[in-house]
């Protein structure tokens, strides 16, 4: 890859308080890496030897339940740190990160984490804020799975992806990364058959349009009403 420019990082929260010379130092220690769609960047339980910043693409974060099921607990967008196990005082990764689309990331050895948090203003506080937000998102997802009706869970999951990555098209708001019905099943703790039935019904009602790996929400307001419905 060509030499990276500091402008890649200057607007991102962990680096926004830093001088350009400091950002050049950080970039000088980084290794750019490209991941094909479907590639596992790291796996749950493995040694957390690197942390990362996503420059382009989208990631799915997957956790394994005590029963052995895999659940997609959140997605990560460009500009976000990930694999930051040191922020959780862990030496293993708490989840698996999978490229949801072709992705480019910067990686640093985990041994640099203490130096970064001590030396660079704002890096530690923004990193811990990211951890807090992610733990909140994961808790919300698990609570939905435990307490909400299936249709509400699926609607909420689709809306989260729209809010995170949605881009306007002539047809509506498209989720920017490839998403399959199996992925939604893994996000909501329901069966593939149920997800397919719901999406087909919503398509008939003009709420969504879906193809093999893409979903466009054509009537976001009605989807919000489904996700907020009582019961």
Which tens digit of pLDDT belongs to each residue from 140-183? Answer: 877 777 777 999 999 999 999 998 889 999 989 999 999 999 99
Q: Mean pLDDT lowest for which of 68-72, 73-77, 122-126, 137-141?
A: 137-141
Which strands, in side-by-side order, build the sheet including 167-168? 167-168, 173-174, 215-217, 208-210
pLDDT for res 2: 53
Nearest CA to 185 out of 174, 175, 196 is that of 196
The predicted structure's pLDDT at residue 43: 97
Percentage of the chain beyond pLDDT 90 is: 65
CA distance 21 to 19: 5
**Any idea which architecture 148-228 has in CATH?**
Orthogonal Bundle (1.10)
| pLDDT at res. 229 | 67
- Which one of 35-44, 124-133, 206-215 scores highest in mean pLDDT? 35-44
- pLDDT exceeds cutoff 70 at 92: yes
What is the value of pTM for the model shown? 0.82
Asked if the 7-137 domain carries CATH number 3.30.56.10, the reply is no
Domains of the chain by residue range:
7-137, 148-228
Which is more confidently placed, 102 or 211?
102
């Amino acid at each position: 890859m060509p030499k990276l420019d500091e402008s890649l990082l200057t607007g991102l929260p962990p680096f926004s308080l830093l001088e350009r010379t400091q950002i050049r130092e950080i970039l000088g220690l980084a290794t750019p890496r490209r991941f094909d769609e479907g590639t596992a960047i790291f796996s749950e339980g493995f040694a957390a030897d690197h942390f990362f910043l996503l420059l382009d693409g989208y990631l799915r974060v997957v956790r394994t339940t005590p029963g052995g099921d895999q659940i997609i607990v959140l997605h990560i967008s460009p500009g976000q740190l990930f694999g930051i196990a040191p922020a959780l005082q862990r030496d293993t990764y708490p989840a698996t990160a999978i490229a949801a689309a072709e992705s480019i990331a910067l990686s640093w050895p985990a041994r640099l984490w203490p130096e970064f948090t001590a030396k660079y203003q704002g890096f530690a506080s923004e990193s811990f804020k990211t951890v807090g937000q992610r733990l909140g998102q994961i808790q919300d997802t698990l609570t939905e799975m435990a307490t909400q009706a299936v249709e509400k869970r699926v609607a909420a999951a689709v809306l989260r992806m729209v809010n995170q990555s949605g881009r306007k098209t002539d047809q509506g708001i498209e989720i920017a990364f490839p998403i399959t019905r199996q992925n939604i099943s893994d996000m909501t703790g329901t069966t593939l058959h149920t997800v397919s039935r719901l999406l087909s019904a919503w398509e008939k009602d003009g709420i969504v349009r879906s193809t093999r790996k893409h979903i466009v929400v054509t009537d976001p307001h009605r989807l919000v009403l489904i996700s907020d419905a009582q019961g």
